[in-house]
């Protein structure tokens, strides 16, 4: 797995260099929805990742956010988001990352999340722990929801769907020390892994948003489920990730009456 990990890190750094060098330059912006956008640098980053990894592993499958779905049937599939935090990036707000995961026979076995602005490389191999720039990381020890700092995000169809996370946000708002909305699910998951956040929840995410970060969080000692504390899959519409100590407390809040706001 070390060979795969080094290739993933190299690909993430190449893509990250493209993004960091161009963040203050004018982007060509396309809209996939009312608030769901993509820039020309998303595409350039994806091409850099695909070019590097496909040259290293020509028989592997690939699934990327910007329309990439290459199937070779080798049993390995790279799942990646070339720019997680596109809206931030389009506004030159320096909170974004590159997320790359490796799936083997349906199981995520490797994850890399790279923040090029802070030069932070989160990584994990299944069963071998989680790391930040080569140093092992662990989740926090906060065991009281009231004293926790948690994170979330909102789906792109927030303007048209009643399933929009606003009720959950309001239910948590008076029950925690603080809530942060960074705009990058992959980064939120890694921040749980290293103890910067105590918990994170979101809905309507895609596999490339969470595949790498979820493994990093798990390998850092985190607990992951859906909102009802059922088994988690990267293909689910819900994700709850915590340090484990406040997991049931967050589940309880997520199961509160969903009164429309």
We report the CATH number of the domain holding residue 117 as: 3.30.540.10
pLDDT in tens, 80-138: 999 999 999 999 999 999 999 999 999 999 999 999 999 999 999 999 999 999 999 99
Task: Please check whether residues 195 and 150 belong to one and the same domain.
Answer: yes
Residue 29: its pLDDT value, please? 74
The confidence score (pLDDT) of residue 34 equals 64
Domain of residue 66 covers 2-136
Do 152 and 237 lie in one domain? The reply is: yes
Quick one: 128 and 187 in the same domain? no
Mean of the per-residue pLDDT values of the chain: 93
Average pLDDT over every residue of 46-67 = 93
| Per-residue exposure over 142-157, b if at least 16 CB sit within 10 Å of its own CB, e if not | beebeebbbbbbbbbe
pLDDT at 259 over 60: no
Alpha-carbon distance of 166 to 194, in angstroms, equals 27
Residue 204 has pLDDT above 70, yes or no: yes
Residue 259 resides in a domain: no
% of the chain at pLDDT higher than 90:
81
Full strand arrangement of the beta sheet holding 178-180:
178-180, 149-152, 199-203, 238-242, 223-225
Average pLDDT over residues 141-167: 89
Task: Tell which of 136, 156, 191 closes a domain.
Answer: 136
Domain ends where: 136, 154, 179?
A: 136
Residue finishing a domain among 118, 136, 154: 136
Domain count, the chain: 2
Same domain, 131 and 209: no
- pLDDT reading at 76 higher than 70: yes
Residue 240: which CATH number? Answer: 3.40.190.80
44 falls within a domain: yes
Q: Which pLDDT score, from 0 to 100, does residue 68 have?
A: 87
Residue 260 has pLDDT above 50, yes or no: no
Looking at the predicted structure, is the pLDDT value of residue 189 above 90? yes
Helices 166-173 + 247-254 axis angle, to 10: 130
User: Is 186 domain-assigned?
Assistant: yes
Number of other CB atoms surrounding residue 223 within 10 Å = 21
How far is it, in rounded angstroms, from Cα 181 to Cα 185? 9
Determine what percent of the chain is predicted with pLDDT higher than 70: 95
Whether 20 shows a pLDDT value over 70: the answer reads: yes
Q: Is the pLDDT of residue 35 over 70?
A: no
Is residue 182 included in any domain, yes or no? yes
- Do 155 and 130 share a structural domain? no
Token pair, residue 245, equals: 């100590």
Residues 86 and 7 placed together within one structural domain of the fold: yes
pLDDT for residue 159: 77
């Amino acid at each position: 797995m070390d060979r795969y990990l080094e290739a993933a890190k190299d690909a993430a750094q190449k893509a990250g260099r493209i993004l960091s060098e161009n963040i203050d330059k004018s982007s060509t912006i396309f809209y996939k929805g009312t608030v769901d956008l993509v820039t020309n640098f998303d595409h350039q980053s994806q091409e850099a990742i695909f070019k590097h990894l496909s040259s290293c592993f020509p028989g592997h499958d690939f699934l990327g956010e910007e329309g990439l779905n290459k199937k070779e049937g080798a049993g390995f599939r790279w799942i990646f988001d070339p720019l997680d935090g596109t809206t931030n990036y389009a506004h030159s707000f320096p909170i974004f990352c590159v997320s790359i995961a490796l799936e083997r026979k349906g199981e995520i076995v490797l994850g890399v999340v790279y923040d090029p602005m802070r030069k932070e490389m989160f990584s994990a191999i299944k069963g071998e722990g989680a790391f930040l720039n080569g140093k092992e990381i662990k989740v926090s020890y906060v065991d009281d929801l009231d004293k926790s700092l948690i994170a979330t995000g909102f789906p792109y169809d927030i303007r048209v769907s009643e399933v929009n996370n606003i009720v959950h946000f309001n239910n948590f708002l008076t029950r925690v020390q603080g809530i942060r909305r960074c705009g990058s699910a992959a980064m939120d998951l890694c921040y749980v892994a290293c103890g910067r956040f105590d918990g994170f929840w979101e809905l309507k995410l895609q596999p490339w948003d969470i595949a790498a970060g979820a493994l990093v969080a798990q390998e850092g000692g985190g607990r992951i489920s859906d909102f009802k504390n059922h088994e988690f899959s990267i293909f689910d519409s819900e994700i709850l990730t915590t340090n484990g100590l406040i997991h049931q407390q967050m589940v309880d809040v997520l199961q509160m009456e969903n009164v429309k706001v």
